[in-house]
Amino acid sequence: MADPVAAYQTAYEEFGKAYDKGKRIAKFLMMIGDYMSRWESVSVTNAGIAYPASAVGSRMKTINADDWPTAELLGQTLADFHKAKAALDAAWHAVPADRRSGLAYPPPG
């Protein structure tokens, strides 16, 4: 049988990776939301769309289409996060109480 502490530490690391990936996408989408609250001064680059010269300038906010997550990537990232969280919680419960000292408690959620 595998060491439950080592299994928990691995699950914690995997959870951290999944969380960070989700956080990067969320941060990008929140930035887009902020930009779009002033949509009149926004342009999208790398989307094969030409803008008139008057619509391009230092006061414009630009969104790089190459950075935009697909619906599939967004869905997979969310699913991966939830799977990693469930695995982390299960790994935590598999660690005997007397061996939890010094381990980071799983984050809520």
Give the model confidence (pLDDT) of 28-49 as tens digits: 999 999 999 999 999 999 999 9
- pLDDT band at 1; cut points 50, 70, 90: low
The reported pLDDT for the residue numbered 94 is 97
| pTM for the model | 0.86
Residue scoring higher pLDDT (92 or 55) = 92
Mean per-residue pLDDT, 86-99: 97
In order of 40, 85, 89, 107, the CA distances from 12 in angstroms are 43, 9, 9, 10
Residue 5: its pLDDT value, please? 97
